[in-house]
Structure 1
Amino acid sequence: MAFDAEIRAALIEQVRRFVTEKCIPIEAEVGDNDAVPQSIVDEMKNLGLFGIAVPEEYGGLALDMETECLVAFELGHTSPAFRSVAGTNIGIGSQALVLFGTDAQKSKWLPGIASGDLIASFALTEPEAGSDAGSLTTKAIRDGDHYVLNGTKRYITNANKADLFTVMARTDPSTPGAKGVSAFIVERNTPGVSVGQPEKKMGQQGAHICDVIFEDARVPVENRLAGEGEGFKVAMSVLDKGRLHISAVATGVSERLIKEMVNYSLERKQFGKPIMEHQMIQAMIADSQAETYAARCMILDAARRRDAGEDVTMLASCTKLFATEACGRVADRAVQVFGGAGYVTDYGIERFYRDVRIFRLYEGTTQIQQIIIARELARAAKAGKL
């Protein structure tokens, strides 16, 4: 739904207050404990954050893309681990159901996803397949009214808490590439489904990734999303939206880091004056602000175009590439502005520096975005639309 300005402003203010009052004060605690407290998860449920992209008839807020991005900017103002708690329910974990699910599938699972009582994860990446989704080896072989799944998925966000997995698996082993891949909803309690231990990561402590293993897991035919062999279409449709969301989160982090840089440089003195008065410091902060503003404008433009029904595949890749790379540069400058303090845990800057590195990898690496942008431009030129 398209929110009117007053309702949208009230929602954004609610999220902003939650981030400022509840999340920011415990960032270090979440990092040290590698866990987001259940009380915070419960507050996110009460705010409706697990269901912001789920249709209203299933208990969600049904935000348009522009409003979702505005919410994501606010969530980016604190450690990304908080957003990740609900992130898969908002994006890649639920959107395959929203976009391609049958009425029965939606009725069965979306209400629980919207409330946060069910956690959904997206199982695409494998030990030998990530960006090259067409090389998936997990198999789903039809056996009567079931498919039998075998294979391993890797680095699956929220897998250890997930109740449902959207799984991409090869239903036609004789068909190479993307055409032989189908999509399924697989429940966690399905016999033959197991989840590995959370990986130790560079950053984003409190957000977990794990292997998901399928060993002769029998999944009912009615759990397939879209037609057989249409899994790649499902995955790509989900990723378009997810890339805009991640771009907004990364830009929110950039905004937070700029605020930290400005405040610190106004207080910290060197050579008899606040370091903010030194032009080299001003240059780093100014560059960060200009790039972050550009990223925000790109994201909102692409989001509005998506809401208007335009194909935004190329624009989503443009925003993902620019916003996440910009965030990496802003985080690096923040460490530089803070100097030695930026390298010390107490100030939290080094944690953000580690946290944001993944933005340039998941939901399609920067290099994959470059390939998509070039491919879409070539297609447009060949169609006489460039």
Structure 2
Amino acid sequence: MSSQPSLRRRYLSDPAFKFFKKVLPPLSETEREAMEAGSVWWDGELFAGNPDWRTLLQYPKPRLSEEEQAFVDNQLETLLDMLDDFDIVQQRKDLPPEVWAYLKKEKFFSLIISKEFGGLAFSAYANSTIVSKIATRSLSAAVTVMVPNSLGPGELLTHYGTDAQKNYWLPRLANGEDVPCFALTGPEAGSDAGSIPDKGVVCMGKFNGEDVLGIRLTWNKRYITLAPVATVLGLAFKLDDPDGLIGDTENLGITCALIPADHEGVEIGERHNPLGLAFMNGPTRGEDVFIPMDWVIGGQDYVGKGWRMLVECLSAGRGISLPALGTAVGHLAARTTGAYSYVRKQFGMNIGKFEGVAEALGRIGGYTYMLEAARTLTTTSLDMHEKPGIVTAIAKYHMTELARTILNDSMDIHSGRAIQLGPLNYIGHHYFGMPVAITVEGANILTRNLMIFGQGATRCHPYVLKEMEAAANTDDNKGAEEFDALLIKHISFATKNVFKSFGNAFTRSRFNHSPVSGETADYYRQLSRMSRALAVTADVSMLTLGGELKRREMISARLGDVLSNLYLASAVLKRFEDEGRQQSDLPLVHYSLQHCLNKCAIAFDGAFNNFPRKGVGSSLRALLFPLGMHFKAPSDDVAVEIANLLMTPGAHRERLTHLCYVGNKETDPVAIMERAFEAMQSIRPIEKKMAVAAKNGQIARKGPLADRLAQALEQNVLTEDEIEQVKKADALRSKAIQVDNFDPSWFAPADTASAGKGKKGKAA
């Protein structure tokens, strides 16, 4: 028996070990730190090929605490009532002073700071909910609130700051005395943050009249949100120690420091113009600026550890803030576009009854359900104190892209109503703003092509990262021994997935486990099949392509799409169970899950068709999908069902769009549409009477409404009370479909028409 392991080593493990050393992609130091910083969560289950659905359903249900709910019901509602997005974006190009003061006073900038330092210490779910609701009212205000609660001084100090730094800065950030920003991105370093050219040199210098150990800094940053108004600047830079003042290493790596904005040499205050939105965003620069060593976040002990600090904290921005903006777009568009599709009429019919409009409405509703599901599942992971870098990358990329599609559909349906900016337009600024969310925290193209599968294949796989570490072991004997044990497990893992995948193809997955019964049961089975197919394809891809897989971004992106859609589908199933299996939500659930399965099939098809090794793609197709891919896009019938749901008031509509702020003022644009929608719904029985009368020849089918109502009264089709009700509803409808126009002075240069600049548009 003792000879078997040695024979296995000799003829299997050791040759494989040498092969792996050659073909597996080497891990750079920044990649290693990124993978070690994150954690594997539900994405690991999906990648391993045998997801335990009971684990998913047992994750905590997202809930606001009593304190968080009270804040949402009171402080948040007060803030939303204060916001006028047209005034903010088109006139002031800034938040009003009273809004800035309220944000500081009520601690909107300290949602993540602990109570010990005067913050609110809210959950990730509460943080996301607050940002989402604000974003349905004003993206500019939402971005202003989300940035201090995302990657920035507050987050970094909380995790890494010295006691002295925490005690000084966190209370000031919590009460709004200081406004923070964090400068990472520069002209030569965007998504590739590891290549930042900004430099610091360890040296002695003067500070407060004394010679102290410190850093001389030069930097040039851009796209920094809140920089124009910040009082404290967080800064990431590369640090060198050429004179060996703090150790034997010259190139110390990325370091983060906290610098008062009024410190000598700090240039701050200029603004960018992010597609016309009004949140504060601008550059910051400094040349040969000396700072003391104790301004490094975490002190001297954290010199060179900035990259790991940033990677660990980036999950918050990717998993909370930007997905919150995407979700907000869904809630806003679903509520308003559904209402508009009922209120607006063409050819005597609600435009939502036209199949072309219904198709887009169905997509809006289905995607919105998916967005809210992904938002709540992703924040659940963060509230479980996970740091799932792959999950948050999936959320950031797909939720902003889904929001972009929703906005396009909403713009198409609203047509001219959406393209004329003015106080009545509730969707236009969001259309301009979504590319901002798509660009920041890692550009979406790179997130999809490099990160989701590129890191996920290594990080989430149960064996590959450990095998890579074994292959990188400088002690070859020890590395080979570790590799041998891992390889046997890996072979067993891969073999099971291959046989189960092949069996799934011929049984239509009917023997896969589902934790529930009913209409959603088969989705669990089919998603398990897709998960196994992904595991097999990932193993084959890494084996045949090795380090080349990094450069094959299109293949990597498609396999990442499979993982992403498995995650989105998981979120939908979890939401449906968490909310009590609401039967009225089933069309939304069916649409979302059919969409995800179809996208998985399309991604597999693209990967197999374009696999760079001859014959590998066709072999995978024959193995995993020998009878073809029978996963169709959502049906027209489901889309029409959803369109009707969005055009019908009720609990289902409230549940789908509960984050959308409506407002109570006469001038609130969403409220104007909502009042018209409710009024038109209230006269449905009356309109049916008129339709029957027109069919019977008692009143005209077409013509001015006033004439037709007069005929209806004369023919005793309607009572005077019913006619009055129709007139009131039609007046609200007419107001809701108008667009704004402006006095010509509005468009004149500011120096010649300052008086006209403050005039609001008039509905026309």
Instruction: Kindly provide the amino acid, as one letter, of the partner of residue 362 in structure 1.
Output: V
Q: What's 2:311 paired with?
A: 236
Q: What's 1:134 paired with?
A: 194
Between 1:319-328 and 1:373-382, the stretch displaced more is 373-382
Q: Any idea what SS the aligned residue of 2:263 has?
A: coil
Superposed, 1:107-186 pairs within 5 Å as: 107-144=167-204, 145-172=213-240, 180-186=253-259
Q: What's 2:345 paired with?
A: 269
Is this contact kept in 1: 2:338–2:361, CA < 8 A?
yes
Is this contact kept in 2: 1:193–1:217, CA < 8 A?
yes
Is this contact kept in 2: 1:268–1:274, CA < 8 A?
yes
Q: Give the drift of 1:20.
A: 4.1
1:264 and 1:313 map into 2 onto residues whose CA distance is: 39
Between 1:363-372 and 1:144-153, the stretch displaced more is 363-372
Q: What's 1:338 paired with?
A: 414
Q: Which has the higher strand share?
A: 1
Q: What's 2:260 paired with?
A: 187
Is this contact kept in 2: 1:327–1:356, CA < 8 A?
yes
Q: Any idea what SS the aligned residue of 2:415 has?
A: helix
Superposed, 1:268-287 pairs within 5 Å as: 268-287=344-363
Q: What's 2:702 paired with?
A: none
Match among 288, 291, 294 for residue 222 of structure 1: 294
Is this contact kept in 2: 1:96–1:166, CA < 8 A?
no
Q: What's 1:378 paired with?
A: 458
Between 1:344-353 and 1:102-111, the stretch displaced more is 344-353
Match among 323, 327, 334 for residue 247 of structure 1: 323
Is this contact kept in 2: 1:247–1:323, CA < 8 A?
yes
Q: Any idea what SS the aligned residue of 1:283 has?
A: helix
1:4 and 1:343 map into 2 onto residues whose CA distance is: 37
Check 1:308–1:9 CA distance in 2 against 1; reply closer, same or farther (3 A cut): same
2:74 and 2:398 map into 1 onto residues whose CA distance is: 28
1:303 and 1:35 map into 2 onto residues whose CA distance is: 30
Give the gaps of 5 or more residues in structure 2.
Answer: 1-61, 205-212, 243-250, 466-489, 494-534, 536-764
Q: CA-atom RMSD, angstroms?
A: 2.1
Superposed, 1:319-338 pairs within 5 Å as: 319-338=395-414
Match among 80, 86, 93 for residue 28 of structure 1: 86
Instruction: Kindly provide the amino acid, as one letter, of the partner of residue 301 in structure 1.
Output: L
Q: What's 1:303 paired with?
A: 379
**C-alpha distance after superposition, 1:259-306 (max 9, x if no partner):** 221222221111111212222222212211211221221222121122
Q: Give the drift of 1:210.
A: 1.2
2:136 is equivalent to residue 77 of structure 1: yes
1:6 and 1:68 map into 2 onto residues whose CA distance is: 14
2:280 is equivalent to residue 208 of structure 1: yes
Identity of aligned residues (%): 22
Q: Any idea what SS the aligned residue of 1:294 has?
A: helix
1:355 and 1:19 map into 2 onto residues whose CA distance is: 20
2:280 and 2:76 map into 1 onto residues whose CA distance is: 24
Is this contact kept in 1: 2:274–2:436, CA < 8 A?
no
Q: Give the drift of 1:3.
A: 7.8
Q: Any idea what SS the aligned residue of 2:334 has?
A: helix
Is this contact kept in 2: 1:50–1:116, CA < 8 A?
yes
1:8 and 1:349 map into 2 onto residues whose CA distance is: 28
2:377 and 2:432 map into 1 onto residues whose CA distance is: 29
Is this contact kept in 2: 1:92–1:122, CA < 8 A?
yes
Q: Give the drift of 1:203.
A: 3.5
Is this contact kept in 2: 1:292–1:323, CA < 8 A?
no
Is this contact kept in 1: 2:326–2:371, CA < 8 A?
no
Is this contact kept in 1: 2:202–2:241, CA < 8 A?
no
Q: Give the drift of 1:16.
A: 5.0
Q: What's 2:432 paired with?
A: 354
- TM-score, normalised on structure 2? 0.48
2:447 is equivalent to residue 365 of structure 1: no
Instruction: Kindly provide the amino acid, as one letter, of the partner of residue 270 in structure 2.
Output: Q
2:108 and 2:383 map into 1 onto residues whose CA distance is: 20
1:201 and 1:18 map into 2 onto residues whose CA distance is: 27
Instruction: Kindly provide the amino acid, as one letter, of the partner of residue 431 in structure 2.
Output: Y
Check 1:77–1:349 CA distance in 2 against 1; reply closer, same or farther (3 A cut): closer
**C-alpha distance after superposition, 1:11-42 (max 9, x if no partner):** 2223552354222xx11111112111011122
Question: Matched residue pairs, number?
Answer: 379
1:56 and 1:6 map into 2 onto residues whose CA distance is: 16
Is this contact kept in 2: 1:88–1:119, CA < 8 A?
no
Q: Give the drift of 1:183.
A: 0.7
Q: Larger radius of gyration, structure 1 or 2?
A: 2
2:112 is equivalent to residue 53 of structure 1: yes
1:236 and 1:17 map into 2 onto residues whose CA distance is: 34
Is this contact kept in 2: 1:171–1:180, CA < 8 A?
yes
Q: Any idea what SS the aligned residue of 2:201 has?
A: strand
Q: Give the drift of 1:153.
A: 0.6
Q: What's 1:92 paired with?
A: 151
Instruction: Kindly provide the amino acid, as one letter, of the partner of residue 11 in structure 1.
Output: F
**C-alpha distance after superposition, 1:323-358 (max 9, x if no partner):** 111111111111101111211113242222101111
2:104 and 2:219 map into 1 onto residues whose CA distance is: 33
Check 1:122–1:296 CA distance in 2 against 1; reply closer, same or farther (3 A cut): same
2:91 is equivalent to residue 11 of structure 1: no
Q: Any idea what SS the aligned residue of 1:368 has?
A: helix
2:219 and 2:67 map into 1 onto residues whose CA distance is: 45
Q: Give the drift of 1:173.
A: 8.3
Q: Give the drift of 1:68.
A: 1.4
Q: Any idea what SS the aligned residue of 1:36 has?
A: coil
**C-alpha distance after superposition, 1:231-274 (max 9, x if no partner):** 11121122111112221122113211222212222211111112
Instruction: Kindly provide the amino acid, as one letter, of the partner of residue 197 in structure 1.
Output: E
Instruction: Kindly provide the amino acid, as one letter, of the partner of residue 159 in structure 2.
Output: L
- TM-score, normalised on structure 1? 0.92
